[in-house]
Amino acid sequence: MNRLLLSTAATALLLSPLACDFEKTGNQFLAKKVMVGTLLSTPDVAFSPTAAAGIDAGTLSDGGTFDQITLPGQTAAFVFFGTREGEQGAPEPIANATVRVEAATGGQINLENEGAGTYGHTSDFGEDAGVKYQPGKTYRFVAVQNGTSHVGTVEEAPALERIEALHPAEGYLRRPANQPLTLQRPAVPSNQERTHGFVTVVPLSKNGDQGQPTYTSAPKEPLRLLELVALPNPPSKAASLEIPGSAFPQKDSNYLVIFQTMKTGGPESDNLFVGSALLVGTADVGVVHTQP
């Protein structure tokens, strides 16, 4: 892990602009505290289970009115905070910090201590959401330990990346169970770098309840996210992403396909390790109904 962290730091130094504060960057290279954080926004999703199942309106007991379920949009924040002085080079979790995510436009999300150096919070959109996601804005991750703040920043949060395959005219995809699905990402301007893209598939009951994911390409562990960000050409920046057929195991079932587009940032304060990985983004969402 030491080798991974140092490789990440070296890459960050090489990519730093010549006009940067070299003293500050040098301090970040030597800093003992490391942070991994994500902020993800998802939109409202409306769908009709009976329509997706191909039931004709005239056969419904209520006289032909389709049911309509709306899954509320959410803002989810997660942070791992630790020190690089753990055994065998692995970061040691810091469990006594106070962690929040701030928006440059005002508002913040206070994260709950979930143990083992992890802090998180999920909220529906609304007056108590704390942070409203806005493309192009700056977001700050702040971990306070013993009165000292450690700050990371992601600038110019990405706009929604619409995946056309998730939006057919019918409003949902009808496909056989256990069939792979390829998502083609839109082209990016020649002077811009493609953002990271992750896919998660979640089963959806007829009343809108979400089950445990059947597939995700997003790293499940903080250290895997550190490793991914350190790669020069990670699979998350590919122009197309393939979802395996095992993500849709059951016939005549609904699945929520969530495509997350996320931009990376880094440390702002000089007491946070230069290899820290911070991501902010939003998601495009579609519904897949597997055929009977």
- Per-residue pLDDT tens digits for 196-232: 999 999 998 877 788 999 999 998 887 788 777 777 7
Average of pLDDT values for 110-125? 87
Helices (H), the chain: 2-15, 22-30, 49-52, 222-230
- Return the pLDDT at 20: 52
Q: Which two tokens stand for residue 229?
A: 């960000």
pLDDT at 16: 46
Q: List CB contacts of 74: < 8 A, sequence separation 6 or more.
A: 41, 42, 122, 123, 124, 125
Distance CA 132, CA 92 (A): 32
236-280: per-residue pLDDT in tens?
999 999 999 999 999 999 999 999 999 999 999 999 998 899 999
The answer to whether the pTM exceeds 0.75 is: yes
CA distances from 44 to 41, 69, 73, 161, 205 (A): 10, 10, 4, 15, 17
* Contact of 287 with 168, CB cutoff 8 Å: no
Q: Which region among 42-51, 54-63, 166-175 has the lowest average model confidence (pLDDT)?
A: 54-63
